[in-house]
Structure formats: C-alpha cells, structure tokens
Amino acid sequence: MKAIGYTWGIVGVIWLLLFAIYRLAPMALALGSFPMNLLHWLALIFSIVYMAYAEGYKGFHLGFAPRVVLRANYLKENPRVSHVILAPIFCMGYIHATKRRKLLSIGLTIMIICFIMVARMLPQPWRGILDAGVVVGLSIGISSILYFVYVAIRKPELIAVSLDVPGERSHLVPS
C-alpha cells in the first residue's frame, strides 16, 4: 500500500498536468496558421518567458513540485486507505493538510478556473499566445516534480518546503 500511494500520488499529479498540456497545446500550435505581427511575436516571447519564470520556476519548482513529492513520501510512510485512494489530491494539499494549505490550494484552484474562463474568451492569436506560455510553465512543473522525485531519493535534506500536514511539527527541512 505504501508504494501504491506514493506512485499514484506522483503519477496522478503528473497526469493532471499532462492532460492540461494536451488540452492547451493545440491552441498554441495553431499560432502557425495565423499571421502574426511584431506585437504578437513580442507578446508570445513575453508569455513564454513570464510563464516559465512565474508559473514554472516560482510556482512549480519552488513550491508545488517539492511539496507534492514530500507529501507523497509522507503518504508512503503514513499510509491510510482513504489517503492512498485519493493520493493525487492528498499530494496537492486538498486533504489531510493544514487549514492554511487547504485554503491556499482551493484559492489557487478558483483563481486558475477564473483564468481559464477568461482565456477561453480570447480570440486567436491571443489565446494561443497565452496558452503557449502556460504549456511551457506546466512542462517545467512536470520536469520539476520528476527532479524532486530524484532529489528525494538521493538527498532529501535538500528539499526545503513544509509538508503542511495537520498535527505535525514543522517539516521544513533547512537548506
């Protein structure tokens, strides 16, 4: 059960991110069939660079990815049937998390849903420009999760984020 929870948690989160990429990539790739002027090209470069940094590096690499991996490790060491079944949402901090972590996770999800609703109203090429940046950020997120899986196996003390598990003392690992 330990290995199942760990694996399902990591693979489930990666699957969700891959599904998002699968849904967004066609709009980004459709940019090739639209005439783009200098403003469009500058917006595309900005979107990709900004989302790589803000979503990919700051959001995923510094926070989400290491927490997902640490929570999967925690689940491996402290398996409960309900948590193993719901391992992806456990790893994302929706269940068995501090009140603060749950609120942050739910708040971020609501913000993403609103962002998606607005993005869907954009005409091409603007939607493709935005989606290209998101695809880059999500790709960095998947790479970051895989990186932290490797780090957790080799040198777990290098991962410096809180697990945000209720009733536990701080799990912040000093860097």
pLDDT at position 158 is: 86
Residues 72, 165, 17, 62, CA torsion sign: negative
pLDDT at position 156 is: 85
Q: What is the 8-class DSSP label of residue 173?
A: P
Domain segments of the chain as ranges: 2-158
pLDDT at position 167 is: 77
pLDDT at position 168 is: 66
pLDDT at position 172 is: 47
pLDDT at position 82 is: 95
Q: Note the helical H segments in the chain.
A: 2-29, 38-51, 65-77, 81-85, 87-91, 99-120, 126-154
pTM score, whole prediction: 0.91
pLDDT at position 175 is: 35
Mean pLDDT of the chain: 93
Stretches in the chain below the pLDDT threshold 70: 168-175
pLDDT at position 51 is: 97
| Phi (first) and psi of residue 169, to 5 degrees | -70, 165
The answer to whether the CB of 90 falls within 8 A of the CB of 79 is: no
